[in-house]
Structure 1
Amino acid sequence: MKRFHRCILSVSSGVLLSLPWLGFPGWMLFFAFVPLLYLENYFVKFKAGFPPVSFWGHVFLSAVIWNVLASWWMTKVSLAGVGAAMVFNAFLMASVWWLAHTIHRKFSASLGYIALISLWIAFEYLQFNWDVEWPCLQLGSILATNIQLIQWYEFTGTFGGTLWILLLNIFLFKFVTNYRLKSSSARKYITLAVFLIFLGVPALLSVFMYHNYYEEIDPVSVCIVQPNVDPYTEKFDWEAEQVKLNQFIRLAAEQTNGATDFILAPETIFEHQTLWNIDEFRSNSFLLRLQLFLKQYDKAEMVFGISSYKVYKEPKEYTTTARTANGLVYDRFNTALQLNKAGETQIYHKSKLVAGVEKVPYQNLFSGLKNSFIDIGGTAGTLGRQNEAKNFISKSGIWVAPVICFESVFGAYVASYVQKGAQVIFVITNDGWWKNSRGYKQHLLFSQLRAVETRRSIARAANTGTSCFISQRGEVLQATNWWEEAVISGQINKNEKLTFYTLHGDFVARLAVFCSVLIMLLMFVRKFR
């Protein structure tokens, strides 16, 4: 096979992998890896003429195309920073395939495919759990474009979707190979049957679950405010904060009534640098005015995002993320705040921070870089964080999971709220950074996934993009338009039942990590025998 034809196969896989992130159906991933699998088999067949690294280069080309086409919208924040992250992620993807290819060359095709599945899922798991998280290209997540196909995620989470996609690609490739080589009819029909079984059984099961899942009626009435503030021109002085406060109250008043349980507003709707001192909330003029507004209603409480800070008085209180200015040592936080009409507050600080924007990865090793970050205004820089999920509890006894922006990407983390008693989920976010791109649309998919995994209804407040309600089946309801000031109200149902995924988390990924370790040990032993 000529180099040109090999490159065509690499480009084909890269483009096919990108399409679901560009708005095409997620099921296109069921055959997107087939060109790469064909290439991998070719390099094994003619391994005498090609070193393993030859295949790595072809996968790297595919991975770069996939990363760029699927995530180009992130470059609106930083072309250099995001571009470097894309190349690094492509390098890791190619390395996973190279390891599986090496195992295929040295052992067998079956072990090579097992290695590919295990190592790829382990790689995705790493992307969720190290300090430079880049989980937005997880294969199983993008299947949320067709929510009826993935109702069984309540058992496996998104890693089950990744496993499904990889298995389908491998069995489809085996069928195509057997057909091209004119293998025996039995062999062709067996591989075709296996492919159809792996395709049909999960899909049919999911459709059945979708049409037979009914929410128990236990309503929570929520008013969602979408202020539509442009983050690129937003100001953070006192006057600007007053304008945003007036706008928030005006919009909330349009839909709030005596039956409203919560008024929900986006992430960091208030960001004045010196206004939101955690230790001075009792005298905060903004909270006093919001409290006065709440007194008009029987039971309404507010949940909204702020950029808060805490001043440390003793050296023993200092944290690794603390800053120093004007003789003060303090931490800044991306905070969700709940307020009731008695003036009582509950706070939660964002835990899953965005690398390069809200934190310096591995800060203990690179403490000198803690103020080096991509400045996108508002809450940025190395922030303080909360170590674990924390629910809000209303006066009427409703347990709410306050999920802030990027945290909605992490299935196991959101499930930890539910393990602690969350009956509904509130997602607050600011998707205005991505402008009118695929960014805010992709971000919404993660909230739909979390609804299916945990079977919790979601109210989602975005500064702009898509504010909406999401059912326990993952359906989007009352979605607002992009770049439009809006307020919506509706009811979501509480649920206290725990799904298998909520109880057991990413067990598929943990099993893949275990298998990957065994396979690497096997390679190590084989090398030194």
Structure 2
Amino acid sequence: MNRFHRLLLSVSTGVLLSLPWLGFPGWVLFIAILPLLYLENFFFKFKEGFPPVSLWGHVFLASLIWNVLASWWMTKVSLVGVGSAMIFNAFLMSLVWWAAHSIRRKLSSPLGYISLVVFWISLEYLQFKWDIEWPCLQLGSVLGNNVKIIQWYEYTGTFGGSLWILLLNLFLFQLLRNIQFKKTLKKKLTSSTVLLILLVVPLGISFRMYSSYQEKENPINVAIVQPNVDPYNEKFDLEAETQKLDDFLRLADEVTNDSTDFIVGPETLFEHQTLWDEATFESNPFLIRLENFLQQYEKADMVFGVSSFEVYNKEEDITYTAQQNNGIIYDRYNTAMLFTKSGEIQIYHKSKLVAGVEKVPFQKYFSFLKNNYIDLGGASGSLGRQKDASNLVAEKAVIAPVICFESVFGEYVTDYVKKGADVIFVITNDGWWKNSRGYKQHLLFSQLRAVETRRSIARSANTGTSCFINQRGDVLQATNWWQQATISGSINKNEAMTFYMKHGDFIARTSVFISVLMVLLVFVRRFA
């Protein structure tokens, strides 16, 4: 295999991995890793002539192509910041393959392939847990573009999908090698049988679950407003803020009636720099207007997002994310608010913040970087956040207020539900990604969360896609991109607990444990 063929295999995997993120069916991933497996096997076969690092560069190229093609739309916010993240993520992906390839060389082929699977899943898990999260390229998540094949995620979560994809590629690779090298009929039949079972059984189970799943009738009526504000040309003065309020009330009035339980608006619907002081909400003129609006209807409450702030008067209350301006020390928050017609207010501060956008990674340890971040959402400086998920508790429902990026985190969303949430409201501002794959990819995560938790979702986006999502993950009444829109409908509450909600990302944690054992085994063999 010459250099051109090796590069061709690298590029092929990069492109194939990217296709589902570009709108192609998720099952493309069932064969996407095959070119790299052939390439890895070449370097293993001729290991006397190539050091382990030879594979690293080829995998880095494939990973970088995948990152760029699948996530290019993020560069609309910051070319330098997102570009750096892509390069770093590709580097981490290539390290996984290099480490697994090295174990295969030193120990055995089975251990090498096991290492590839558990190292990869461990890396995906790390991308959800550390301070520079980049979880949007998780293999199992993109299968959300066909919810009929992933109903079993209510047991495994998205890491079950990642495991499924990796195993399918490995066993298909083994079958093709058995055919290529004319292995015995018994070996061909064994590998083909295992592959067939691995493919058909999950699909059969999922199709059956999809067709037989019945939601318990326990409805609430929801009106969703999509105001379609351009975040790149948005103004934050009082006149502009008042206009946004006028537009929101006009749109809400189109779909609200006496049977409406909730009116839902998007993330950061209001963002005036001084208006949304949490200590003065009771006298906030906007909230007074919203309360007067609600008096027209029998039972409607509101859920929407604001850019709020909290002023600190005591030194012991000051957090590491706090900012100072004209002698005033305060934290800004990306906030979800429940506002009832009786004037009651409940708030939730977004916890999962976007690295480099809403927070400076590791700011707790590098506080001098606190103002060096990309402004996204009307605030300046890194945002404050609350540590844990909490619900908005209304008379008609217990709501999980999932804000934008938080919908990516499956295990985190289960925290809301374990605390009693019987429906999920996702509020987001997808206008930042313009008319790209970004807002379409973001929608997939809400579908995944519906399947994993079996909770109905009302999704309000600043612009397309606002929708309802049922407990099977089906998208209903989806709005169009870049249009003011309103929709109304009913969604069913659910109090049942799924296996995934009870046990979380057990596949990922198991992979981390096995990964540690693999590393220890390498050290023992090396120094024994």
TM-score normalized by the length of structure 1: 0.99
Runs of 4 or more above 4 Å deviation: none
The answer as to whether partners of 2:236 and 2:271 remain within 8 angstroms in 1 is yes
Q: 1:8-43, CA deviations, whole angstroms, 9 ceiling, x for partnerless residues?
A: 111111110000000000000001000100111111
Look up the SS of the partner of 1:225 in the other structure: strand
Structure 2: runs of 5 or more not aligned? none
Where does residue 359 of structure 2 map in the other structure? 359
Alpha-carbon spacing, 1:195–1:412, altered in 2? closer, same or farther (3 Å)? same
The answer as to whether partners of 1:26 and 1:142 remain within 8 angstroms in 2 is yes
Aligned counterparts of 1:94 and 1:311: Cα–Cα separation in 2: 45
Structure 1: runs of 5 or more not aligned? none
Where does residue 374 of structure 1 map in the other structure? 374
Q: 1:62-115, CA deviations, whole angstroms, 9 ceiling, x for partnerless residues?
A: 001100000000010111111110000000000000000000011111101110
Where does residue 461 of structure 2 map in the other structure? 462
The answer to whether residue 7 in structure 2 is matched with residue 7 in structure 1 is yes
Look up the SS of the partner of 1:31 in the other structure: helix
The answer as to whether partners of 1:225 and 1:486 remain within 8 angstroms in 2 is yes
Aligned counterparts of 1:183 and 1:83: Cα–Cα separation in 2: 45
Look up the SS of the partner of 1:194 in the other structure: helix
The answer as to whether partners of 2:306 and 2:334 remain within 8 angstroms in 1 is yes
The answer to whether residue 83 in structure 2 is matched with residue 83 in structure 1 is yes
Aligned counterparts of 1:338 and 1:194: Cα–Cα separation in 2: 51
- Per-residue deviation, 1:393: 1.1
Q: 1:386-407, CA deviations, whole angstroms, 9 ceiling, x for partnerless residues?
A: 11111111133x1000000000
- Per-residue deviation, 1:314: 0.8
The answer as to whether partners of 1:357 and 1:380 remain within 8 angstroms in 2 is no
- Per-residue deviation, 1:172: 0.2
Q: 1:186-244, CA deviations, whole angstroms, 9 ceiling, x for partnerless residues?
A: 11111111111100000110000000000011001000000000000010110000000
Where does residue 414 of structure 1 map in the other structure? 413
Return the letter of the residue paired with 1:5: H
Where does residue 383 of structure 1 map in the other structure? 383
Return the letter of the residue paired with 2:462: N
Look up the SS of the partner of 1:204 in the other structure: helix
- Per-residue deviation, 1:379: 3.4
Which structure 2 residues correspond to residues 56-455 of structure 1 after superposition, within 5 A?
56-396=56-396, 398-455=397-454
Aligned counterparts of 2:503 and 2:340: Cα–Cα separation in 1: 34
- Per-residue deviation, 1:365: 2.0
Look up the SS of the partner of 1:65 in the other structure: helix
- Per-residue deviation, 1:380: 4.9
TM-score normalized by the length of structure 2: 0.99
Return the letter of the residue paired with 1:287: L
The answer as to whether partners of 2:371 and 2:380 remain within 8 angstroms in 1 is no
The answer as to whether partners of 2:263 and 2:300 remain within 8 angstroms in 1 is yes
The answer as to whether partners of 2:20 and 2:142 remain within 8 angstroms in 1 is yes
Return the letter of the residue paired with 1:71: S
- Per-residue deviation, 1:377: 5.0
The answer as to whether partners of 2:215 and 2:492 remain within 8 angstroms in 1 is yes
- Per-residue deviation, 1:153: 0.0
Look up the SS of the partner of 1:88 in the other structure: helix
Q: 1:454-479, CA deviations, whole angstroms, 9 ceiling, x for partnerless residues?
A: 00000000000200000000000000
Greater shift, 378-387 or 350-359, is seen at 378-387
- Per-residue deviation, 1:155: 0.1
The answer as to whether partners of 1:157 and 1:411 remain within 8 angstroms in 2 is yes
The answer as to whether partners of 1:268 and 1:379 remain within 8 angstroms in 2 is no
Look up the SS of the partner of 1:220 in the other structure: strand
Look up the SS of the partner of 2:266 in the other structure: coil
For this pair of structures, how many residues does the alignment match?
Answer: 528
The answer as to whether partners of 2:375 and 2:381 remain within 8 angstroms in 1 is yes
Alpha-carbon spacing, 1:380–1:138, altered in 2? closer, same or farther (3 Å)? farther
- Per-residue deviation, 1:381: 2.9
- Per-residue deviation, 1:527: 1.1
After superposition, the CA RMSD in angstroms is: 0.7
The answer as to whether partners of 1:36 and 1:59 remain within 8 angstroms in 2 is yes
Aligned counterparts of 2:360 and 2:139: Cα–Cα separation in 1: 27
The answer as to whether partners of 1:226 and 1:467 remain within 8 angstroms in 2 is yes
Look up the SS of the partner of 1:464 in the other structure: coil
Aligned counterparts of 2:112 and 2:379: Cα–Cα separation in 1: 45
- Per-residue deviation, 1:327: 1.2
Where does residue 516 of structure 2 map in the other structure? 517
The answer as to whether partners of 1:331 and 1:384 remain within 8 angstroms in 2 is yes
Aligned counterparts of 1:86 and 1:44: Cα–Cα separation in 2: 28
- Per-residue deviation, 1:376: 3.5
Return the letter of the residue paired with 1:519: M
- Per-residue deviation, 1:375: 2.3
The answer to whether residue 473 in structure 2 is matched with residue 474 in structure 1 is yes
Return the letter of the residue paired with 1:344: E
Look up the SS of the partner of 2:48 in the other structure: helix
Aligned counterparts of 1:18 and 1:332: Cα–Cα separation in 2: 36
Q: 1:298-344, CA deviations, whole angstroms, 9 ceiling, x for partnerless residues?
A: 11000000000000001011100011111111000000000011111
The answer as to whether partners of 1:357 and 1:381 remain within 8 angstroms in 2 is no
